[in-house]
Amino acid sequence: MKSIGGKQMADKKVNRFTAKEKTLGLFYMIMLFLAVSGTCSYFMFFSNPNLGSSDGKALAMEGLKRISAFQKFQGERMEKLELLDGKVNAIDPGLKASYEKSEVKYMLGEFNKDYEDNRFDDRFRIFALVSRFYEYKMFTKERIWASKKNIQHFSDKYDFCEGCIESLNKE
């Protein structure tokens, strides 16, 4: 016990709220909880009319059909892609075999057409990218061959000039 000014006071907590205030506070908290819960439930479950219907299921099934159709189409194109890869790797730029190049360009055009026909679906863009890749690969192969040919040509001319200079120096 503490003594304050000669009076003894027991260590008790001072109760600030009355029973009526506690009841009203509890009532307000319950009402607030119910209002927030009701609002959240409404927006989660009742504001979306398609949530409980089978429309979502039908859309999902349609999406699965599109995915399986794309996988089947992609599987068919893999054989052509392997053939295209073999033809591009077999092309010798030194040969003047334009029929090989035109055949490869035709196959690349088929891949581009696949993308153009299905432009609405971004998954088909891979066919355009594959086509562009092989076009660049052919162009790079031809460019490297042309550069090697130019280097060989200029080195032959350099050797010829060097031989001429040596013969002039000997005379």
Q: Where are the domains of the chain?
A: 16-45, 77-170
Of 18-22, 27-31, 137-141, 157-161, which has the strongest mean pLDDT?
27-31
Of 71, 90, 81, 76, nearest in space to 131 by CA: 81
Q: How far apart are alpha carbons 118 and 112 in whole angstroms?
A: 10
Predicted local distance difference test score (pLDDT) of residue 102: 87
Predicted local distance difference test score (pLDDT) of residue 50: 57
Q: How far apart are alpha carbons 88 and 74 in whole angstroms?
A: 20
pLDDT at 2 > cutoff 60: no
Confidence of residue 44 (pLDDT cuts 50, 70, 90): confident
- Asked whether 87 and 107 are in contact (CB, 8 A), the reply is yes
101-143: per-residue pLDDT in tens? 889 899 999 999 988 988 888 888 999 999 999 999 999 998 9
Confidence of residue 3 (pLDDT cuts 50, 70, 90): low
Predicted local distance difference test score (pLDDT) of residue 57: 80
Q: Token match 């054989």: residue?
A: 79
* Mean predicted confidence (pLDDT) in 1-11: 53
Q: Count Cβ neighbours within 10 Å for each residue of 20-48 and write b for 16 or more, e otherwise.
A: eeeeeeeeeeeeeeeeeeeeeeeeeeeee
**Mean pLDDT value across the chain:** 84
